[in-house]
Chains A and B, each alone.
Chain A
Amino acid sequence: MRKLKRSMAVTAVAALALTACGNGGGSDAEGETLSVWIMEGTNPDAESFFKGVKSEFKEETGATLDVQFVQWAEAHDKFVTSIAGNTTPDVAETGSTWTAEFAEAGALAPLDEQIEKAGLKDDLVEGLVEAGTLEDSLYGMPWYAGVRSVVYRKDIFEKHGLTPPTSWDGLREAGLALKEAEPDMTPFAVPGDSAYLAYPFIWGAGAELAEQEGDTWSSGLDSPEAREGVKFYTDLAVKDGLSSAGATTWNEKDVLDNFVKGNLSMATMGSWAMPAILEQNPDLEGKIGAFPIPGPESGYSPSFLGGSHLSVFEGSKKQELAWKFVEMMTTGETAAEWAEQTNYFPGQASLLEEAAKSDDPLVKPFATQMVEAGTSVPVAPGWGAVEAKKTVPAMIQSILSGDKGVDQATEDAATEIEELLNGK
């Protein structure tokens, strides 16, 4: 019964879309309401931002926007239950690691046609396109993106005549110098519960998390390169004592909290964390800086490029109106303004280029990292399971706590990744 209803709905949508195309669009959405879910907390001033968007949207299409802010903590549950109950909104912000997952289940509508028609196909940030693509169709419109780089205490560095390191050895030496000079501070956080902070050292060493050969995936985590990277990263804590006992179980929020409290000299963090740091501890104004994560000898270590898409739900009966909203949000001035307010980067390539020219010392290093060394996690349908199972954090934490050696931990993690990606 439900199946029947559903297929009828799909036909109806298709028919609607067809007639809409026949009309060549038009702004006859008077009196309609478009429901939208946006993640809470990305933009501290989201309320007033969307006030502007609402009136602009009304002017352009005649339709009313119903924006609901969804909290990250339980967003996944909220999405899944609404899919199960057929109560999804028309458009939603989907974290870039979720888009493929929801698309694979058939919950999202492909956007290729609209993107092509709008002439945006070659103007989107590559990493976000990759993350939102499933079997050659794009299901999430790139909205905003960010990367992690190393954030440091400029005042402390200057006090002791240190400069931002440009190699792994330089990073370690700076850490050792700081340990000597500032015994009350932790020189560099090596948190045990974050995958994204460990990846750069695996990628930087020249290893891949997983690669597809024919039909099977194999993980490079147990390769000599990956082991070297993991060993360098964890030795910063285990051997050199540059991290802290507590950090063994920290996640990224704990890193931020401790940086805000002034306990850390260096830590890997996202560009989006900058406003949060300054809001929570205004004393740090002018005292923090950032530099791209250095490569082993020179250059940069790649960092995970993540962000959010705007996706249109397959069940929405207002596909055309939904796309209008998506286009308005993700391109041009609205997109640029959002990125600026949140300290993220826009998902439109031309806007990103513009933003990358910034001279802001808290933007430029991240822009460099993003353009020069931003990368994605393996584009495999099973990668979400690897993240959910915390395979890489478990590996790092077991080394930090002394439960396993680097060789054993990387081997176990590689096995687990292969099992998950190849579907046991």
Chain B
Amino acid sequence: MATARPWLLLAPALAVLAVLLLWPLARVVLISFQDYGLREIVSGRSNYIGLANYAEVFADPALWTVVLPNTVGFAVAAVGGTVILGTLVALLLASLDRLWRTIVSSAVMVAWAMPAVTGTYVWIWIFDADRGIVSQFLQGTGLLDEPHNWFTDRWSFYAVVLVNIIHHGFPFVAITVLAGLLGVSKEMLEAATVDGAGAVRRFFSITFPTLRPVFAVVVILSTIWDFKVFAQIYLQPGGSGSNRSVFNLGVWSYVESFAQNRYGFGSAIAVLLTVLLLAISVVYVRTLFKEEK
């Protein structure tokens, strides 16, 4: 009975996940070993070609010079940005009284609730080269002589994406960490205050250890999402293929494969991305469990 209980509790969730995601995921892996196009989709036949798709992915110089550096570099910046800002906001919220906490957290929620597509277009308007308010402000103050297109350069392109992603992503971190913060023992914090620990010290010696599981979830999930960023890049001017220097894994796989009905190749990229993320998560999870014991 005691050994059965955890499995009984897990069963419904596992059943949903297995049927709806694990099996389709297995299909993705199978497709990645095939030359799978529209023709195969129509006929339902399989067409195995071994590792050819993977060989093609690795042989493409763009993977190493553009796609991977963009993906990894951006993910590091975005995870750092969202987690740090989200945590700071959560700490701020926890220190506010009830009324202000409700007001500010509702405002934070707006940023999360706004559809990503809409948010992306609004940021595009804000950074519009000819008439965006950023351009106008910079020209008005003399910092910029003539209109500058922020979307042609790899760095400024990703800077705009970063602002967009942080804006849309930090509320998740803030609300989650806030939920955790409210569970942190007030007595311990007060005791530490009496002992003369400053805010920073209190955070790292009491709050952070208690919240470790929460942070682990937030960091792992943010990493997963920020590696997979697609719409925010694809919709930005030049992001859908006309500017090759801004491809990340998601956009690259879409333009190179799904847009051309090369589902086998696209699936190979997807599997690759999954394996990469898996490796990163295993490291996270190992550290997490080791320190928990």
Contacts and interface: CB of A to CB of B under 8 A. Distances in A.
**Are A and B direct contacts in the complex by CB distance below 8 Å?**
yes
Contacts, number: 106
Interface in B234-293: 237-238, 240-245, 255-256, 259-261
Given A249-B238, A393-B242, A105 B37 contact: yes
Chain B binding surface SS class:
loop
A258 B135 CA distance: 17
Contact of A389 (B153, B241, B245): B241
A388 B242 contact: no
A105 B129 contact: no
Chain A binding surface SS class:
helix
A159 interface: no
A262 to B, nearest CB: 11
Interface residues of B, number: 32
A192 interface: yes
B45 A249 contact: no
Contacts of A101: 38, 261
B242 A104 contact: no
Nearest to B244: A394
A388 B260 contact: yes
B201 interface: no
Contacts of B256: 389
A143 interface: no
Contacts of A102: 38
Interface in B76-102: none
Contacts of A186: 130
B226 interface: no
Interface of A: 2-3, 6, 76, 80, 83-84, 101-102, 104-107, 186, 192-193, 244-251, 254, 263, 314, 384-385, 388-390, 393-394, 396-397, 400-401, 403
Interface of B: 37-39, 41-45, 128-131, 146-149, 151-153, 237-238, 240-245, 255-256, 259-261
What 3 A-B pairs are tightest by C-beta distance, nearest first? A249-B237, A105-B38, A390-B241
Contacts of B128: 246
Nearest to B130: A246
B43 A3 contact: yes
Given A106-B39, A389-B260, A193 B255 contact: no
B242 A193 contact: yes
Nearest to B262: A385
B149 A245 contact: yes
20 contacts: A6-B43, A80-B38, A83-B42, A101-B38, A105-B37, A106-B39, A192-B238, A192-B242, A193-B242, A245-B129, A246-B237, A249-B242, A388-B241, A389-B241, A389-B260, A390-B241, A394-B243, A396-B242, A400-B152, A401-B153
Nearest to B38: A105
Contacts of A396: 242
B283 to A, nearest CB: 34
B131 A397 contact: no
Given A80-B41, A105-B37, A263 B255 contact: no
A6 B261 CA distance: 22
Contacts of A3: 43-45
B129 A390 contact: no
Contact of B242 (A84, A247, A385, A397): A397
B151 A389 contact: no
